[in-house]
Structure 1
Amino acid sequence: MILVTGGTGLVGSHLLYFLLKENTTVRAIHRKNSDMQAVKKVFALYTSEVDSLFNKIEWVAADIIDIPALTEAFKNITTVYHCAAIINFETSKYSLLKKINEEGTANIVNICLSNHVEKLCYVSSVATLGSNLNNRLVNEENPWNPDEKNNVYAITKYAAEMQVWRGTQEGLNAVIVNPGVILGVSPDDGGSSRIISLGKRGVSYYPSGTMGIVDVKDVVKAMKALMESEIVNQQFILVGENIPYKELLSKLAILFGTKPPTKKLSKRLMLFLSGMDWLSNKLFNTDRSIPKSMVRAMFKTSNYDSSKIKNTLNFEFTPTEETLKRVAEAYKKSLN
């Protein structure tokens, strides 16, 4: 039996559909307050038989930091897809991120070992990879640099990777995928939904940076292919295209019939607004909306090399235009 953590998230929900499509027996972990019914929104993108497919999932309420509940959820499990994580860039959330991303992954690894699980797939991020000089492509060999201005999300995801590698030293077979910004319809309207919303609304300004993007369907396809292969104890970058923010926002604006951005955003202004955002948080306990790490990312040129997954599995990524068109159409339907 297959176990999926984070089944109500972006990657987990799409993964569940494609596993169930093959009549695979699947158990999925969810937190007690999570909205499992939102997963049906994702299933509806692919099939009209939403309920019959959804009801095949064996849902188990188990937080990944709740070891007794996790131990129960692992009974008769042979393979594990670990998708659960918290994405947040606020330094004040470090303890929570460490608890879920790092310690939660350590729990998954430990129980995999004690239950002799055959293979684990961990969903990490390109945020754990080091930078390259002169804007050269970053690949899997670029080491983590602790001296860089790494955000708290990246720090805890890297620590989680170290837990997986520690598990491999103790006998666990594992693969790690490092996706860029994942584009797709999410059950909870999180993640890349914010970028889609900007394109839908239309913005005048754009930051000068670039990012690596990937279709959620490609992430799922790569994970399944790696788990079904004999490949173990390796990691793979999953980026379909390296794209400037301006180009991505412009493509989205055209699809939604809004005005593409034409004015370059000032980094100095954004850092000032980030400072005001920090002050508001301290004085009035408001949520941070522009953490400094986010500003740095908006103006950073980040280009990634996915040739390893392409060469190893003869893997082909979905063209960006096809992904954006599909996602935009899904968002338009959700508004009607």
Structure 2
Amino acid sequence: MILVTGATGLVGSHLLLHLLENKEETVRAIYRNEKHIIKTKSLFDFYKKIDLFSKIDWVRADILEIPSLEIAFQNIDNVYHCAASISFNPDDEDQLRKVNIEGTANIVNFCIDENIKKLCYVSSIAALGNLAQNESTITEDSEWNPEQLHSDYAISKYGAEMEVWRGFQEGLQVVIVNPGVIFGPGFFDQGSGAFFTSIQKGIPFYTNGSTAYVAVTDVVKIMQLLMNSTSNGERFILISENISYKDIIYSIAEKIGAKKPKIEAKSWMLSLAWKLDWLFSLVFRSQRKISKQASYSLQNTDLISNEKIKSFLKYEFLPIDTYLDEVVGCFKN
């Protein structure tokens, strides 16, 4: 039996669908709140696969609650760990570390204790290393530089990876995937999905920084392929393309019929923005909207490589612009 954590999120929901479509063995999914299951059911309905939804073995559990995990791990052979806390608000540091690091440690410990055959952990490109002076592209082998500025989210995902590598050293078969920004239908109130909502409302600024993007369908397909492969103790970057923020915003805005931003946010503007935001949050006790780390990442232009996974699986990623048409179709509905 397969266990999927984070089954009510973007990746977890699509992974459930993909596994059942490919007639995998019984799939058990973890949920914390029954209301969240509705989103997963809606996704199956969107793809006209609602008949497969009834085949999911749902178990109420929390990766931070040991007793509930004891029930969830009964008769499990393989684990896909997709659950995570995602936030770039500095005020959420404790929550990020607890869920992403402590929660992953719990999953790893249960995998070891229950003799799980293999664990696939969904990390992030945020946990990748930094460019050295002699490098032009970030790869799986790029080294993490603790002296560089990293977001609390990145640090928590890096810490979670350390827990997975600990499990590997203790004999657990593992594979880590580092997806870029993941686009997919549904979940437009959270994560990358909220990007569409923001653009629809209108974004006045753009930056010439860039990051890497990937279709959720590519992510879940590759996860299953890696779990069924001989790969063990390796990590793989999962991205389709490196695209500037300006280009991705313009592309989405055009597809959904929203206004395109006309003002480029210069580095000094972003620097001023996070400082003022910090001051306002301190004085008015409001939630942070942009952090120092976020302002730097919006200006970052480091390129990320997907050559390792393409070579290992002979895999070709979906073009982002083409896949966005499917996502926008769901968004409009």
Q: Which residue matches 1:161?
A: 161
- Alpha carbons of 1:72 and 1:320: their partners in 2 closer, same or farther (altered >3 Å)? same
- Alpha carbons of 1:96 and 1:184: their partners in 2 closer, same or farther (altered >3 Å)? same
- Provide the rounded CA distance (Å) in 1 between the counterparts of 2:223 and 2:80: 8
Q: CA offset at residue 239 of structure 1?
A: 0.9
Q: Which residue matches 1:237?
A: 237
Q: Does 1:2 align with 2:2?
A: yes
- Provide the rounded CA distance (Å) in 2 between the counterparts of 1:211 and 1:313: 23
Matches within 5 A, 1:36-75: 36-47=37-48, 49-50=49-50, 52-75=51-74
Q: Which residue matches 2:307?
A: 307
CA deviation string 1:154-174 (max 9, x = no partner): 111001001001101101001
Q: Which residue matches 1:131?
A: 130
Structure 1 gaps of 5+ residues are none
- Provide the rounded CA distance (Å) in 1 between the counterparts of 2:311 and 2:152: 32
CA deviation string 1:260-307 (max 9, x = no partner): 333311232233222232223223332222122211111111311000
SS of the residue corresponding to residue 325 of structure 2 reads helix
CA deviation string 1:17-73 (max 9, x = no partner): 1112123311111113651111122212311x42x3222111111110111110110
Q: CA offset at residue 202 of structure 1?
A: 4.3
The answer (yes or no) to whether the contact 1:135–1:303 under 8 Å persists in 2 is: no
CA deviation string 1:304-323 (max 9, x = no partner): 10000000000110011211
Percent identity over paired residues = 45
Matches within 5 A, 1:6-155: 6-24=6-24, 25-32=26-33, 35-47=36-48, 49-50=49-50, 52-132=51-131, 133=133, 136-155=136-155
Moved over 6 A (4+): none
- Provide the rounded CA distance (Å) in 1 between the counterparts of 2:266 and 2:43: 37
- Provide the rounded CA distance (Å) in 2 between the counterparts of 1:123 and 1:283: 37
- Provide the rounded CA distance (Å) in 1 between the counterparts of 2:287 and 2:185: 24
Q: CA RMSD in A?
A: 1.6
CA deviation string 1:104-144 (max 9, x = no partner): 00000010001000000000011111222488211000011
CA deviation string 1:220-272 (max 9, x = no partner): 11101101111111000011000011111111121112333333112322332
Letter paired with 1:160:
A
The answer (yes or no) to whether the contact 2:118–2:227 under 8 Å persists in 1 is: yes
- Provide the rounded CA distance (Å) in 2 between the counterparts of 1:248 and 1:293: 21
- Alpha carbons of 1:302 and 1:42: their partners in 2 closer, same or farther (altered >3 Å)? farther
- Alpha carbons of 1:164 and 1:330: their partners in 2 closer, same or farther (altered >3 Å)? same
Matches within 5 A, 1:153-302: 153-187=153-187, 189-302=189-302
- Alpha carbons of 1:223 and 1:13: their partners in 2 closer, same or farther (altered >3 Å)? same
The answer (yes or no) to whether the contact 1:38–1:188 under 8 Å persists in 2 is: no
CA deviation string 1:51-96 (max 9, x = no partner): x322211111111011111011000000000000001122221111
SS of the residue corresponding to residue 14 of structure 2 reads helix
- Provide the rounded CA distance (Å) in 2 between the counterparts of 1:218 and 1:44: 20
The answer (yes or no) to whether the contact 2:12–2:82 under 8 Å persists in 1 is: yes
The answer (yes or no) to whether the contact 1:274–1:292 under 8 Å persists in 2 is: yes
- Provide the rounded CA distance (Å) in 1 between the counterparts of 2:225 and 2:211: 25
> Which deviates more from structure 2 when the two are superposed, residues 5-14 or residues 87-96?
87-96
The answer (yes or no) to whether the contact 1:13–1:187 under 8 Å persists in 2 is: no
The answer (yes or no) to whether the contact 2:277–2:288 under 8 Å persists in 1 is: yes
> Which deviates more from structure 2 when the two are superposed, residues 272-281 or residues 110-119?
272-281
The answer (yes or no) to whether the contact 1:39–1:187 under 8 Å persists in 2 is: no
Letter paired with 1:71:
E
The answer (yes or no) to whether the contact 1:82–1:120 under 8 Å persists in 2 is: yes
> Which deviates more from structure 2 when the two are superposed, residues 286-295 or residues 33-42?
33-42
Structure 2 gaps of 5+ residues are none
SS of the residue corresponding to residue 300 of structure 2 reads coil
SS of the residue corresponding to residue 44 of structure 1 reads helix
- Provide the rounded CA distance (Å) in 1 between the counterparts of 2:123 and 2:144: 13
SS of the residue corresponding to residue 58 of structure 2 reads strand
Letter paired with 1:295:
S
- Provide the rounded CA distance (Å) in 2 between the counterparts of 1:65 and 1:247: 39
Corresponding pairs, count = 331
Q: CA offset at residue 192 of structure 1?
A: 0.8
- Provide the rounded CA distance (Å) in 2 between the counterparts of 1:33 and 1:97: 23
SS of the residue corresponding to residue 102 of structure 2 reads helix
Letter paired with 2:39:
A
